[in-house]
């Protein structure tokens, strides 16, 4: 078999204002790993208007091929023209696997595409692997399927889902759960320009006005996150959480119950319905550690839990547990960190 | 303005406790209360507000077991004009693709509609896929994450959709399908008057069928009083059973595990100054903290 007839893994590239979204780069990282394992090629689908400059960085992040489709009608994301362009491409190239970020765009587009291609689609995966599956009904063994792993039932169970018969095997994947590869300047790959064939009926939805602020806080990029829960007690008391985050150069996170209680804004929420994070250090203050919260933070490199209840489930995922009142523990943490840095700098 | 609201009866996943989990790690659905999917109540409310403003009708449709008629009644109490249950054993174990195929085939049977309204997502799977897939099957445009309908006129609408962060105002031709955000409105409560009148409404499969003749009498009696919930199956929708239910579902659940705490290295740090200082020192030494 020559290299050009190799099977392919595809990544849908999302971009906003000329910038590739992080989740697409994360998926290229995971896609590269799986392509190497399977001996497949990795391709990125880049759709838009005036986006050719984004092709290089995609190759440098791991893509072997970039399928580039450009047209003025594709300048801003709209479901129908994007879906048609993607489906045309997929029908002609038959990828084995097709991954989208589980962002509002990915979750709008992927189901439309999957329905049109009559393929299975798994939403909001938190892990992907390659593995075999034997159908108990058909007594048939399938090798090297995409194992799509996702929480279900409000985060109480983890399901592994496969699409044995339909191609491509499609999934949307949560932001922040896959690890981006280091950019490899000068990495080689092909850019394949393909036509975009938009039809009049695809323009049924017109964007009249669009406001996109930038997110004021970026939990996903934070190296240190100090999160507060209901145990913090009040909006005023959250100041203490902010003080610790400030001292450590970190960002403030929160549990959903703290958000629901009005202690802090929703953009700070970590967990299944909030942001998934994996910082170097996660400090959970007054958080019980419900599955839905753990789902968004248990991959952090180091976790410190501060909780007055020694039985709190958060201690089950923590590396360091401090059983105590956070109102006493946090000031001690701030004081001792400040002292240590002073000593270190004094040396 | 004729709207069709698609709603699902779901297990209340907020109520999942340890006893709701079976030993093999699967969820014991029977141990959980079944509720009207929360976002679908917002979808219904939006449809009712459109009817209040522009006139027309609201039809509620669900695919599910006979018991799912409970949410149809709930929708009738709140103001829906017509309710349709899609029930057939051969629909069981449908994934989102088979579900949307079934729903779209049933919608096609209705002569006219301007809007199909879905909730953003159902809390059992949180997939948010059935709306867009149904739109594709009907070959109509979709607008997801809608929080406000700004205006509707003959054949056209303007809506606001939530972006994260921000928003977009879009215009679309009708018919179209929209999915509705859970925080877009406050669903009205059931009306006591409608409840009095409609609480006896039943779908044919809810009525005991031991004696076929007695069953027919009950059905025709309910029908006469406008209390028989319409019920369709694979044959009445005219679908091929191969594309429904499990055989029409490309996704297969390979394995289910209950969530277990990840055991690992764990150390208890005393909440004292010495304890905390040595923790900080350790974290600085291994460069977790700079
Ligand atoms: C579908 C669904 C999705 C969800 N998504 C999320 C999500 O994305 N993120 C999320 O976080 N939650 C989510 N939840 C909610 C989750 O189940 C929990 O309810 C929530 O995480 C609990 O928040 P908490 O730990 O702050 O509050 P609690 O459970 O009330 O815990 C407070 C803790 O603080 C401790 N405490 C009290 N006082 C002190 C003190 N002075 N010092 C130290 N400790 C103290 C207590 O011992 C207790 O352990 C979701 C729920 C559902 C059903
Ligand atoms: N069985 C069903 N019957 C009717 N509507 C459904 C069904 N399943 C899903 N829906 C609709 O599709 C939306 C999204 O569901 P889901 O893709 O399962 O998250 C729901 O909020 C409902 O509006």
One DSSP character per residue, chain B reads -EEEEE--EEE-GGG--GGGB-TTS-B-GGGS-EEE-HHHHHHHHHHHHHHHHH--EEEEEEES-GGGHHHHHHHHHHT-SEEEEE--GGGTT--HHHHHHHHHHHHHHSS--SEEEEES--TTT----HHHHHHHHHT--EEEEEEEEEEEETTEEEEEEE-SSSEEEEEEESSEEEEE-TTS--PPPPPHHHHHHHTT-B-GGGS--SSHHHHHHHHHHHHHTT-BPEEE-HHHHT--GGGSTGGG---EEEEEEE--------EE--SSHHHHHHHHHHHHHTTS--
- Chosen for mutation from A115, A216, A220 (greatest number of chain B CBs closer than 10 Å) is A115
Contact across the interface for B168 and A339, Cβ inside 8 Å:
no
Structure ipTM: 0.86
Helix (H) or strand (E) holding A336: helix A326-346
Strands of A136-258, DSSP E: 140-152, 157-162, 169-173, 190-194, 205-211, 224-228, 251-254
Split into its structural domains, chain B has a count of 1
Pairing status of strand B156-162 against strand B142-153: antiparallel
pLDDT in tens, A139-173: 999 999 999 999 887 777 889 999 999 999 999 99
Rounded Cα distance between B51 and A220, Å, is 43
Please confirm whether the linkage preceding B165 is cis (ω < 30° from 0): yes
- The CA distances from residue A201 to A62, B141, B172, B179, B242, in Å, are 36, 9, 11, 20, 31
Residue A181 DSSP label: P
pLDDT at residue A1 is higher than 50: no
Q: Hey, what are B176's tokens?
A: 């179209």
CATH 3.40.50.1220 matches A219-344: yes
**Stretch B190-201: mean pLDDT:** 96
Say which range, A61-65, A80-84, B186-190, B285-289, has the weakest mean pLDDT: B285-289
B44 belongs to a structural domain: yes
CA A92, distance to chain mean position in Å, is 28
CA of A238 to the centre of ligand 1 (A): 15
Q: Which residues line ligand 1 (CB under 6 A)?
A: A 154, 229-231, 255-258, 269-274, 286-288, 290, 292-293, 296, 306-309, 312, 325-327; B 13-14
- Give the pLDDT of residue A323: 96
Q: Do B170 and A207 touch (CB under 8 A)?
A: yes
Residue nearest to atom 14 of ligand 1 (CA): A292
Does the pLDDT value for residue B131 go beyond 60?
yes
Domains A3-203 and A219-344 in one fold: yes
User: Does the structure show a pLDDT above 60 at A237?
Assistant: yes
- Sort out which chain A residues have CB atoms less than 8 A from B148's CB and list them: none
For residue B20, which residues of chain A lie inside 8 Å, CB to CB?
A: 156
- Residue B267, domain member (yes or no): no
Residue B163 sits in a domain whose CATH number is 3.40.50.620
Q: Which two tokens stand for residue A50?
A: 């005036």
Q: Name the residue facing B129 among A123, A304, A336 (closest C-beta).
A: A123
CA distances from A326 to A143, A238, B267 (A): 51, 11, 18
Question: Is B271 a domain residue?
Answer: no
Would you say residue B114 has pLDDT above 70? yes
Q: Are A47 and A86 in contact (CB under 8 A)?
A: yes
How close does chain B come to A191, measured CA to CA in Å?
30
Give the residue among A347, A344, A287 at the shortest CA–CA distance from A312. Answer: A287
Domain boundaries, chain A: 3-203, 219-344
Contact B162, B173 (CB under 8 A): no
Ligand nearest B131 Cα, by number? 2
Q: Which residues pair with B267 in a beta bridge?
A: A320
**CB of B5 closer than 8 Å to CB of B103:** no
Cβ–Cβ < 8 Å for A322, B271: yes
Tens digits of residue pLDDT in A196-206: 989 999 999 99
Query: Is B255 inside a domain boundary?
Result: no
Q: What share of chain A has pLDDT > 90, as a percent?
A: 83
Kindly determine whether residue A280 and residue B254, on different chains, have CB atoms separated by under 8 Å: no
- For A:258-317, CB contacts with B below 8 A are 267, 280-281, 291, 294-295, 298, 301-302, 304, 313, 315-317
| For residue A280, cis peptide bond before it (omega within 30 degrees of 0) | no
List residues bridging with B265 in a β-sheet.
Answer: none
Report which secondary-structure segment, H or E, holds A129: strand A127-135
Q: SS in 3 state form for B147-171? A: EEEEEEECCEEEEEEECCCCEEEEE
Quick check: is B148 in a domain? Answer: yes
Instruction: Report cis status (omega within 30 of 0) of the bond before A104.
Output: no
Scanning the structure block, which residue is given the tokens 């899609």?
B86
Measured between CB atoms, which of A123, A211, A329 is closest to B167?
Answer: A211
Q: What is the pLDDT of residues A49-106, one digit of tens each?
A: 999 999 999 999 999 999 999 999 999 999 999 999 999 999 999 999 999 999 999 9
For chain B, say whether A158 makes contact (Cβ under 8 Å): yes
Domain A3-203 has CATH 3.40.50.620: yes
Structure confidence at residue B20 as a pLDDT band (50, 70, 90): low
| Average pLDDT across chain A, whole number | 93
What is the C-alpha to C-alpha distance for residues A221 and A279, in angstroms, rounded to an integer? 8
What is the Cα–Cα distance from A181 to A61, expressed in whole angstroms?
A: 6
- Is residue B274 one of the residues assigned to a domain? no
pLDDT attached to residue A292: 87
| Residue reference for tokens 């923790």 | B279
Question: Mind listing the pLDDT tens digit for each residue in A292-334?
Answer: 899 899 889 999 999 999 999 999 999 999 999 999 999 999 9
CA distance A179 to B234: 45
What average pLDDT score do residues A235-242 get?
96
Q: CA B230, CA B237: separation in Å to the nearest integer?
A: 12
Which pair of tokens denotes residue B286? Answer: 């291994």
The residue among A77, A105, A110 whose CA lies nearest residue A202 is: A77
Where is A79: in which H helix or E strand?
Answer: helix A79-93
Residue ranges making up the domain that contains B91:
2-248
Residue B260 banded pLDDT, cuts 50, 70, 90: low
Pairing of strands A251-254, A281-285: unpaired
What is the count of residue pairs from A and B with beta carbons less than 8 Å apart?
232
Q: Is residue B109 part of a domain?
A: yes
Which is nearest to B26 in space by CA: B256, B260, B261?
Answer: B256
Torsion (CA) B18, B24, B29, B33 in degrees, nearest 10: -10
DSSP type of residue A11: E
- Helix ranges (H only) for A284-325 are 291-294
Torsion angle defined by CA atoms of residues A214, A220, A224 and A226, in that order, rounded to the nearest 10 degrees: 80
Is A13 at the interface with chain B, CB within 8 A? no
With CA atoms as reference, report the closest residue to A200 among A80, A293, A292: A80
Q: How far apart are CA A182 and CA B178, in angstroms?
A: 40
Report the residue among B3, B9, B36, B37 best suited for mutation to probe ligand 2: largest number of ligand atoms under 8 A from its CB. Answer: B37
Pairing mode of beta strands B34-36, B9-11: antiparallel
CB contact under 8 A, B258 and A156: yes
Cα–Cα distance, A262 to B67 (Å, whole number): 37
What digits encode the pLDDT tens for the residues B36-59? 999 999 999 999 999 999 999 999
Residue B165: its chain A contacts at CB < 8 A? 212-215, 267
- Does the pLDDT value for residue B108 go beyond 60? yes
CB-CB under 8 Å, A83 with B259: no
Residue B101 lies in a domain: yes
């Amino acid at each position: 078999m020559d290299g050009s007839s190799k099977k392919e893994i595809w990544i849908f590239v999302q971009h906003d204002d000329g910038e590739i979204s992080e989740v697409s780069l994360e998926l290229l990282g995971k896609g590269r790993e799986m392509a190497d394992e399977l001996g497949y090629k990795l391709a990125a689908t880049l759709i838009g208007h005036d986006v050719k400059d984004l092709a290089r960085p995609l190759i440098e992040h791991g893509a072997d091929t970039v399928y580039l489709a450009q047209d003025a009608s594709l300048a801003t994301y709209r479901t129908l023209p994007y879906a048609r362009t993607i489906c045309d491409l997929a029908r002609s190239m038959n990828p084995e696997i097709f991954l989208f970020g589980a962002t509002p765009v990915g979750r709008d587009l992927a189901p439309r595409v999957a329905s049109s291609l009559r393929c299975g689609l798994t939403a909001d995966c938190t892990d992907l692997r390659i593995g075999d599956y034997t159908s108990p009904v058909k007594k048939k063994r399938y090798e090297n399927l995409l194992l799509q792993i996702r929480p279900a039932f409000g985060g109480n169970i983890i399901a592994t889902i496969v699409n044995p018969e339909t191609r491509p095997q499609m999934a949307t994947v949560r932001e922040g759960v896959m690890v981006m590869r280091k950019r490899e300047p000068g990495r080689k790959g092909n850019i394949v320009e393909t036509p975009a064939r938009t039809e009049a009926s695809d323009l049924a939805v017109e964007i009249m006005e669009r406001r996109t602020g930038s997110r004021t806080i970026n939990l996903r990029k934070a190296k240190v996150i100090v999160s507060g829960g209901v145990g913090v007690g009040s909006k005023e008391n959250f100041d203490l959480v902010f003080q610790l985050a400030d001292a450590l150069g970190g960002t403030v996170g929160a549990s959903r119950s703290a958000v629901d209680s009005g202690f802090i804004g929703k953009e700070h929420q970590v967990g299944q319905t909030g942001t998934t994070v994996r910082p170097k250090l996660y400090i959970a203050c007054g958080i019980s550690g419900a599955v839905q919260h753990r789902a968004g933070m248990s991959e952090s490199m180091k976790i410190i839990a501060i909780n007055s209840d020694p039985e709190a489930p958060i201690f089950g995922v923590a590396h360091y547990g401090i059983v105590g009142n956070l109102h006493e523990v946090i000031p001690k943490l701030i004081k001792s960190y400040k002292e240590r840095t002073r000593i270190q700098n004094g040396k | 303005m004729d709207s069709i609201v698609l709603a699902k009866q779901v297990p209340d996943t907020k109520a999942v406790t340890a006893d709701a989990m079976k030993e093999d790690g699967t969820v014991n659905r029977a141990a959980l209360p079944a509720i009207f999917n929360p976002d679908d109540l917002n979808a219904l409310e939006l449809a009712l507000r459109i009817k209040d403003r522009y006139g027309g009708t609201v039809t509620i449709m669900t695919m599910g077991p006979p018991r799912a008629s409970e949410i149809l009644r709930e929708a009738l109490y709140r103001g829906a004009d017509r309710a349709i249950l899609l029930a057939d054993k051969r629909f069981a174990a449908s994934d989102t693709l088979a579900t949307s195929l079934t729903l779209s085939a049933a919608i096609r049977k209705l002569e006219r509609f301007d809007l199909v309204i879905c909730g953003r997502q159902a809390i059992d799977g949180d997939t948010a896929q059935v709306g867009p897939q149904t739109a594709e099957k009907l070959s109509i445009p979709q607008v997801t994450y809608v929080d406000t309908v700004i205006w509707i006129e003959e054949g056209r609408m303007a809506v606001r959709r939530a972006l994260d962060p921000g928003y977009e105002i879009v215009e679309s031709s009708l018919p179209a399908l929209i999915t509705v955000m859970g925080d877009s409105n406050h669903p009205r409560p059931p009306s006591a008057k409608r409840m009095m009148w409609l609480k006896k409404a039943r779908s044919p499969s809810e009525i005991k069928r031991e004696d076929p003749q007695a069953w027919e009498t009950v059905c025709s009696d309910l029908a006469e009083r406008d209390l028989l919930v319409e019920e369709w199956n694979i044959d009445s929708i005219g679908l091929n059973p191969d594309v429904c239910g499990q055989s029409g579902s490309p996704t297969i659940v390979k394995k289910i595990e209950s969530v277990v705490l990840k055991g690992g290295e764990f150390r208890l740090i005393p909440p004292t100054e010495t304890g905390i200082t040595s923790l900080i020192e350790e974290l600085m030494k291994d460069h977790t903290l700079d």
